[in-house]
């Protein structure tokens, strides 16, 4: 694939790609109608773009960010509803969710994320799996799986315990308590945090630093370090399977209804397992 094909308008729905000087590819998550939520087309694009970036020569570093007021507000309600009622859709998104995590991990190019505003769902997975994650102080990172009524699968089990420790991971993933940009750095969930008005400048500075280094040294260091994530593959696969099993149960329907109606959920009293 050429950079012209990669950055062609409409090539990746929900994303805008632009190649800058020094071989830095800017990937912007963008949705005009919502706070960069991820619908079915955008979820598919966010999955395959990393494989295509890996295959495209001329890219030395990637900077990923959200457009407007936030990084990404999470999954589109229509997509979630489709997954809970259509086995084919559920299976398709399960494969995409698996590939999304592994494609980011296996992308050889270094990736920097600039995180501001809400960062939820597939956007959060990308943001935390990047090689250098930088938050604005007021960013709000939230894993909303339990609030929806499904297990915290996705990226969570593979990366949160490694970054911030098992106890912190359990607390935030089981309660759904959000993490501010400042707190995320304090517990080790992200690489850096900066005042909001310094976020993009700092992210571009780091991207330029990575892009100007030895490609082999940088990429091979990334490859070796990401073996920590690869060896957690069985944990990730189990968590993802349990998450998607939850999409076949009653709690996700109640969770989705409560989110739409902006009320507290009324989940089942007990679980069969």
**Domain map (residue ranges) of the chain:** 3-196+216-261
Asked if the 3-196+216-261 domain carries CATH number 3.90.226.10, the reply is: yes
Lowest average pLDDT, out of 19-33, 74-88, 192-206, goes to 74-88
Both tokens assigned to 35: 């706070």
Using a CB cutoff of 8 Å and minimum separation of 24, what contacts does 163-171 make? Answer: 163/128, 163/188, 163/189, 163/190, 164/188, 164/189
Give me the pLDDT at residue 272, please.
84
Over range 45-67, report the average pLDDT: 96
Please, which residues have CB within 8 angstroms of residue 214's CB and are 6 or more apart in sequence? none
Q: pLDDT tens digits for 66-110? A: 999 999 988 778 888 899 889 999 999 999 999 999 999 999 999
Q: pLDDT tens digits for 32-46? A: 777 888 888 999 999
Give me the pLDDT at residue 214, please.
98
Give me the pLDDT at residue 110, please.
98
* C-alpha–C-alpha distance, residues 113 and 41, integer Å: 21
């Amino acid at each position: 694939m050429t950079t012209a094909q990669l950055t062609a308008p409409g090539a990746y729905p929900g994303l805008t790609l632009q190649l800058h000087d020094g071989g830095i590819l800017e990937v912007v998550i963008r949705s005009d109608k919502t706070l960069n939520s991820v619908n079915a087309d955008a979820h598919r694009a966010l999955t395959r773009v990393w494989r295509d970036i890996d295959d495209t020569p001329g890219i030395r570093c990637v900077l990923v960010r959200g457009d407007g007021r936030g990084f990404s507000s999470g999954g589109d309600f229509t997509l979630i509803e489709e997954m809970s009622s259509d086995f084919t859709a559920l299976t398709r998104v399960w494969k995409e969710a698996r590939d999304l995590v592994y494609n980011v991990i296996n992308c050889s190019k270094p990736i920097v994320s600039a995180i501001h505003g809400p960062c939820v769902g597939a956007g959060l997975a990308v943001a935390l799996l990047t090689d250098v994650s930088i938050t604005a102080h007021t960013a709000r990172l939230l894993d909303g799986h339990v609030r929806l009524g499904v297990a915290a699968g996705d990226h969570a089990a593979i990366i949160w315990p490694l970054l911030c420790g098992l106890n912190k991971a359990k607390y935030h993933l089981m309660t759904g308590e959000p993490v501010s940009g400042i707190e995320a750095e304090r517990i080790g969930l992200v690489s850096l945090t900066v005042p909001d008005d310094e976020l993009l400048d700092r992210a571009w500075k780091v991207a330029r630093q990575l892009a100007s280094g030895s490609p082999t040294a940088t990429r091979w260091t990334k490859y070796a370090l990401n073996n920590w994530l690869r060896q957690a593959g069985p944990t990730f696969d189990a968590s993802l399977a349990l998450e998607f099993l939850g999409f076949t149960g009653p709690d996700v329907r109640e969770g989705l209804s409560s989110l739409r109606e902006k009320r507290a959920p009324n989940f089942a009293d007990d679980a069969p397992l």
